């Protein structure tokens, strides 16, 4: 079966936005979660994973239908290594290999970059 969907994640100092997009970038569904309540790195990473899994399940999709997840992040990142150098407005993120962590938890290809 051909992969038909993309997961988009926008992580900011205030909100975590997650959406399912079609291959023509049409928004199929989206969710917004406040990041204000997550003050620990691990809690925020878990919230990202939960939000992605939740939107997939709520739309009755299988992971085999998903091409991958792209993350727009609020700080300097290294696309090749998947490492976040730091987030200026979210404490606890320093030299975190977010790509590797999320690929293991979500079992999806992860792509990340600075959102600027």
Q: Is the pLDDT of residue 2 over 80?
A: no
Are 5 and 12 contacting, i.e. CB atoms less than 8 angstroms apart?
Answer: no
| pLDDT value for 12 | 85
| pLDDT value for 1 | 56
| pLDDT value for 68 | 97
Across 80-109, b (16+ Cβ under 10 Å) vs e yields eebbbeebeebeebeebebbebbbebbebe
What does the pLDDT look like over 18-77, one tens digit per residue?
A: 999 999 999 999 999 988 777 788 888 999 999 999 999 999 999 999 999 999 999 899
Residue 115 is among the residues annotated as catalytic for this protein: yes
What does the pLDDT look like over 4-21, one tens digit per residue?
A: 999 999 998 889 999 999
Helix, strand, or coil here: 65?
helix
């Amino acid at each position: 079966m051909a992969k038909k969907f993309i997961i988009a994640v926008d992580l900011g100092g205030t909100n975590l936005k997650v959406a399912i997009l079609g291959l023509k970038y049409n928004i199929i569904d989206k969710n917004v979660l406040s990041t204000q309540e997550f003050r620990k790195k691990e809690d925020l990473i878990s919230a990202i994973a939960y939000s992605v899994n939740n939107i997939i399940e709520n739309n009755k999709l299988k992971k085999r239908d998903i091409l991958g997840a792209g993350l727009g992040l609020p700080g300097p990142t290294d696309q090749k290594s998947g490492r976040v150098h730091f987030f200026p407005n979210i404490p606890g993120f320093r030299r975190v290999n977010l790509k590797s962590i999320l690929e293991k938890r979500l079992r999806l290809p992860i792509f990340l970059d600075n959102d600027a």
